């Protein structure tokens, strides 16, 4: 039931912005935020991670200093390798987006951590996330929830992220139920 609420909220937020419903790159001054997404989560998951690609086309460094969404806690995290142990830590000073460069928020690296999820992330749904930058100000992006890909060879998220043509057409959105998304249906009911 809760998942319907999440979907409805996302739809309203998109409509309010007047943006094309499936446009999936966001602009803020000299910044481009491409393909904001999260993977579906297990029913018991308390947290979810948001990923995106932020490009600074300007001549001044910027800094992602805050992220906000409708969850009890949202933080900008980095992953630190300490020997064999991978640890997540909040980026206290924010995440620098250097002038003329692209910073990836991706699995195993920087991410937006959403904590205290009221319901699992379900494939095909989306929710608003507000990003606050030191120089450019703030922008609301839509995080789209995608199927978690598990493969022994490792899924190359970076490659997917670069290809926006995949995301212009979301006609597959409606047909998710026919494919193999049993989890989606179970959760929705």
Would you tell me which residues interact with Cu ion (CB under 5 A)? Answer: 77, 88, 113
Q: Which is nearer to Cu ion, 99 or 132 (CB)?
A: 132
Distances (CA, A) of 131 to 12, 31, 44, 160: 18, 11, 27, 22
Looking at the Cβ atoms of 113 and 119, the one nearer to Cu ion is 113
User: Quick one: which of 33, 40, 44, 36 has its CA closest to 121?
Assistant: 40
> What's the full length of the chain, in residues?
189
Closer by beta carbon to Cu ion, 39 or else 184 = 39
90 vs 137, which CB is nearer to Cu ion?
90
To which H or E segment does residue 163 belong? none
Rounded to a whole number of angstroms, the minimum distance from the CB of residue 113 to Cu ion is 3
Q: Which helix (H) or strand (E) holds 5?
A: helix 2-17
Q: Least distance to Cu ion from the beta carbon of 75, Å?
A: 7
Q: How far is the CB of 26 from Cu ion (least distance, A)?
A: 22
Q: Is the dihedral of CA 36, 65, 8, 50 positive or negative?
A: positive
Provide, rounded to whole angstroms, the least separation between the CB of residue 129 and Cu ion.
Answer: 14
The pair phi, psi for residue 152, each rounded to 5°, is -65, -35
CA distances from 66 to 3, 83, 97, 106 (A): 25, 29, 13, 17
Q: Which residue has the tokens 């026919």?
A: 178
- The answer to whether the beta carbons of residues 131 and 25 sit under 8 Å apart is no
Q: How many CB atoms lie within 10 A of CB 35?
A: 23
In angstroms, give the least distance from the CB of 57 to Cu ion.
Answer: 27
Measured from the CB of residue 36, what is the shortest distance to Cu ion in angstroms? 16
51 or 124: CB nearest Cu ion: 51
Between 28 and 52, CB nearer to Cu ion: 52
């Amino acid at each position: 039931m809760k998942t319907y609420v999440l979907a409805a909220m996302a739809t309203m937020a998109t409509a309010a912005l007047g943006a094309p419903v499936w446009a999936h790159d966001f602009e803020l001054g000299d910044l481009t935020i491409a393909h904001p997404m999260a993977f579906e989560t297990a029913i018991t998951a308390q947290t979810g991670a948001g990923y995106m690609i932020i490009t600074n086309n300007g001549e001044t460094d910027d800094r992602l200093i805050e992220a906000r969404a409708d969850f009890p806690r949202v933080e900008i995290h980095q992953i630190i390798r300490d020997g064999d142990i991978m640890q997540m830590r909040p980026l206290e000073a924010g995440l620098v987006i250097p002038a003329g460069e692209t910073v990836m928020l991706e699995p195993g690296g920087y991410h937006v951590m959403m904590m205290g999820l009221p319901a699992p992330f379900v494939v095909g749904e989306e929710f608003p996330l507000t990003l606050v930058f030191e120089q450019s100000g703030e922008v609301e992006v839509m995080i789209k929830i995608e199927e978690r890909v598990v493969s022994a060879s490792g899924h190359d998220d970076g490659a997917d992220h670069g290809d926006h043509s995949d995301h212009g057409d979301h006609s597959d959105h409606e047909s998710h139920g026919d494919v193999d998304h049993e989890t989606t249906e179970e959760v929705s009911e």
